[in-house]
């Protein structure tokens, strides 16, 4: 369901494989509850085990901004990630800087957009960073963005790594109105959800979080970080492997 394969022969090929082989699998793992529900509906199979790609628990204290507020996007620089809309939204956000951490094919275009909309002084491109260096930057943010656009079910049902990184860093979020993202932002009460990618609407949501302040979300972020961590997910993989081993032993006997 990725945009890059929709309508192509490769998509038909993979759909054929899934249709013919998924029902034969004794165990299957997928990365979000929405993915699992889709597989059940699409192929009428036993619900896969959900193992979310979450970071390990981090002992991070909230860090307040000394001067300008920091809006953070971290990840691949490409279209459909909402980066261009975030840059345009900076027209309506005062006393803040948008820090973009990551590399990708669209960096030149995004710089041009910042210049076109006269917000170049409000946007900072940090480039590619080692994970250890990124973990030092993320806690300094006042709001983290995960505002992917709906370019297919793969995106719509996804659970991007960045949102759980923000939560572990005790940073509130602004996210797209996608099932997994909304479940975290509103379910845990750690941020705002956008209903469109209109730059003014996005800016309004960012301003709500900035005006509330990080401490407003602290208790909810603490609770979310206790649940949204790899320590809770890795046990599921062990259970799947144990189940497969037991099934194999029975088959041999």
DSSP 167-207: HHTT--EEEES-HHHHHHHTTTT-EEEESS--HHHHHHHHH
H or E stretch including 240?
helix 230-252
- The answer for residues whose C-beta is within 8 angstroms of residue 146's C-beta and 6 or more apart is 160, 162, 163, 166, 173, 174, 175, 176, 181
- The answer for residues whose C-beta is within 8 angstroms of residue 110's C-beta and 6 or more apart is 77, 83, 84, 87, 100, 125
Model's pTM, two decimal places? 0.91
d(CA 138, CA 153): 28
d(CA 86, CA 154): 22
Give the per-residue pLDDT at 6. Answer: 84
Count other C-beta atoms under 10 Å from residue 85's C-beta. 20
**pLDDT digits 0-9 by tens, 81-132:** 999 999 999 999 999 999 999 998 999 999 999 999 999 999 999 999 999 9
Domains and their CATH numbers in the chain: 1-51 (no CATH), 69-223 (3.40.50.2000)
Mean residue pLDDT of the chain comes to 94
Give the per-residue pLDDT at 66. Answer: 67
| Both structure tokens of 147 | 């505002």
Give the per-residue pLDDT at 197. Answer: 96
**What mean pLDDT is predicted for residues 217-240?**
95
pLDDT band at 5 (very low <50, low <70, confident <90, very high): confident
d(CA 94, CA 152): 33
Cβ atoms 86, 202 nearer than 8 A: yes
């Amino acid at each position: 369901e990725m945009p890059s394969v929709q309508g192509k022969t490769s998509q038909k090929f993979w759909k054929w494989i899934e249709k013919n082989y998924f029902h034969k699998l004794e165990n299957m793992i997928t990365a979000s509850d929405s993915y699992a529900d889709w597989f059940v509906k699409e192929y009428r199979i036993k619900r896969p085990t959900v193992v979310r790609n979450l970071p390990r628990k981090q002992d991070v204290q909230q860090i307040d901004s000394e001067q300008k507020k920091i809006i953070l996007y971290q990840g691949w620089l490409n279209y459909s990630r909402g980066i261009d809309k975030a840059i345009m939204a900076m027209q309506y956000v005062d006393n803040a800087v948008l820090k973009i951490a990551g590399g990708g094919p669209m960096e030149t275009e995004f710089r041009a957009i910042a210049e076109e909309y006269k917000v170049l002084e409000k946007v900072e491109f940090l480039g590619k960073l080692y994970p250890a260096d990124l973990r030092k930057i993320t806690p300094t943010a006042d709001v983290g963005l995960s505002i992917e656009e709906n370019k297919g079910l793969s995106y719509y049902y996804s659970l991007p790594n960045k949102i759980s990184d923000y939560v572990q860093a005790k940073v509130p979020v602004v996210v797209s109105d996608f099932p997994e993202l909304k479940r975290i932002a509103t379910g845990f009460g750690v941020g705002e959800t956008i209903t469109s990618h209109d730059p003014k609407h996005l800016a309004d949501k960012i301003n709500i979080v900035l005006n509330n302040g990080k401490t407003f979300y602290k208790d909810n972020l603490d609770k979310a970080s206790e649940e949204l961590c790899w320590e809770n997910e890795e046990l599921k993989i062990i259970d799947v492997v144990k189940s497969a081993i037991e099934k194999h032993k029975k088959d041999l006997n």
